[in-house]
């Protein structure tokens, strides 16, 4: 999604370099998360996690996270100082979530910050490193928060057993889905504003607004099913908004 947005905004072939930097950064965050959570995942028998399932050792995953993080630095800086610095802050925010913030009421902050920085990272790769529209930054931040709340719903029971008490866990699955739905709605409205009411953004907004409620209503009563479909719906909504942004014209990244 980041690569497609960068191409649409006019970054050119360096969009692929940007995509590689994002990929390494996300890999480092994801692997660090599994490394930090290894004992918790084994405690609740998370067979969907390779470390807990015994398919790979925690030490191997930890080393992979370190290698990915190391590669992230030169890849990020190769794009440019503005983009590189913004991306390293975003990755650092993700690591802070893994190490500490996921267990606090501030668990949503790294998602808002890291996702919100994505338009800054892309715009920083353009000539002159212009600032992105605040509306577009807000869209990305809202989608990050929505993904966080939706992603925790299916893990509510396991998180309670292992003492993970982020804000979604404190609010509970039902309120978490509601927060995810509201933030997706806000993102959809802001996208329409940020693209000057383009037909593509209006269509994407309509899809996004309907995706999450439909997904949760058709999931039955099991939190696992609700969480899985809610998270998938948020990702689908994000994808629709990226497509709409590309169709509307990437110049909306920095001006209406």
The reported pTM is 0.88
| pLDDT above 90 for 249 | no
Reported as a pLDDT band with limits 50, 70 and 90, residue 201 is confident
Count of Cβ atoms closer than 10 Å to residue 226 Cβ? 24
pLDDT digits (tens, 9 = 90+) for 92-110: 999 999 999 998 999 999 9
Reported as a pLDDT band with limits 50, 70 and 90, residue 256 is low
Q: Looking at residues 245-252, what average pLDDT do you find?
A: 76
Where in the sequence is the domain holding 40, given as residue range(s)? Answer: 2-253
Residue 183: closest CA among 222, 159, 154, 151: 151
Reported as a pLDDT band with limits 50, 70 and 90, residue 115 is very high
How many Å separate Cα 157 from the centre of its chain? 23
Q: What is the pLDDT of residue 19?
A: 96
pLDDT digits (tens, 9 = 90+) for 44-59: 777 778 888 889 999 9
Please state the domain count of the chain.
Answer: 1
Q: What is the pLDDT of residue 213?
A: 65
| pLDDT above 60 for 164 | yes
Reported as a pLDDT band with limits 50, 70 and 90, residue 202 is confident
Residue 237: closest CA among 175, 169, 155, 182: 182
Contacts of 153 (CB under 8 A, 6+ apart): 168, 173, 176, 177, 223, 226, 227, 230, 231
């Amino acid at each position: 999604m980041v690569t497609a947005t960068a191409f649409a905004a006019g970054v050119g072939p360096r969009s692929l370099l940007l995509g590689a930097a994002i990929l390494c950064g996300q890999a480092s965050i994801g692997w660090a998360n599994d490394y930090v959570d290894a004992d918790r995942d084994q405690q609740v028998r998370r067979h969907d996690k390779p470390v807990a399932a015994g398919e790979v050792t925690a030490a191997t995953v930890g080393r992979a996270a370190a290698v990915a993080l190391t590669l992230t630095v030169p890849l990020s800086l190769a794009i440019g100082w503005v983009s590189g610095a913004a991306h390293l802050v975003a990755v650092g925010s993700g690591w802070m979530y893994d190490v500490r913030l996921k267990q606090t009421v501030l668990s949503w902050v790294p998602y808002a910050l890291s996702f919100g920085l994505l338009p800054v990272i892309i715009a920083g790769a353009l000539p002159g490193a212009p600032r992105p529209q605040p509306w577009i930054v807000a869209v990305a931040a809202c989608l990050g928060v929505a993904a966080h709340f939706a992603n925790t719903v299916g893990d509510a029971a396991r998180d309670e057993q292992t003492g993970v008490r982020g804000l979604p866990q404190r609010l509970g699955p039902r309120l978490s889905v509601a927060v995810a739905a509201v933030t997706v709605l806000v993102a959809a409205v802001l996208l329409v504003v940020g693209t000057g009411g383009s037909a593509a953004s209006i269509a994407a907004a309509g899809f996004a607004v309907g995706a999450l409620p439909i997904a949760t209503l058709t999931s039955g009563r099991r939190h696992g099913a609700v969480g899985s479909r809610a998270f998938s719906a948020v990702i689908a909504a994000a994808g629709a908004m990226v497509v709409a942004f590309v169709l509307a014209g990437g110049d909306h990244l920095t001006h209406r």
